[in-house]
Amino acid sequence: MARVKPGVWFRMTEPLTKASASQMASDLRNSYRRRLESLRMSGVVVGERWEAEYGNDPTDSDPTHFYVWFRLITPAPSTFLAQGVTR
């Protein structure tokens, strides 16, 4: 869905620990600098740039639940999408 609506913020549905949410947001933000083989997540396409933040959600009263919000800021070049270069 995020690729269909670049620039729109989405929230991951499952709550995470603070450490996991922080790491996931960092991995997504920095995915464009890393080799696909070294990423700890799947679905990232070469050439994409993502913005990601983490924190508590006001709709969830549990202070131990953290969420990741993300949005696509630079789509992958169409040549990578046509070749299916993803991890």
**Residue pLDDT, tens place only, 44-83:** 888 889 999 999 999 999 999 999 999 999 887 764 554 5
Q: Tell me whether residue 5 is in a domain.
A: no
Q: How many domains does the chain have?
A: 1
Res 83: pLDDT = 52
* Gyration radius from the chain CA atoms: 14
Q: Tell me whether residue 4 is in a domain.
A: no
pTM of the entire predicted model: 0.80
Q: How many residues does the chain have?
A: 87
Give the domain extent around 75. Answer: 10-36+45-83
Q: Tell me whether residue 31 is in a domain.
A: yes
CA distance 25 to 20: 9
The amino acid at 85? V
Record the tokens describing residue 72, joined without a space. Answer: 């696509």
CA distance 45 to 42: 9
Q: Tell me whether residue 2 is in a domain.
A: no
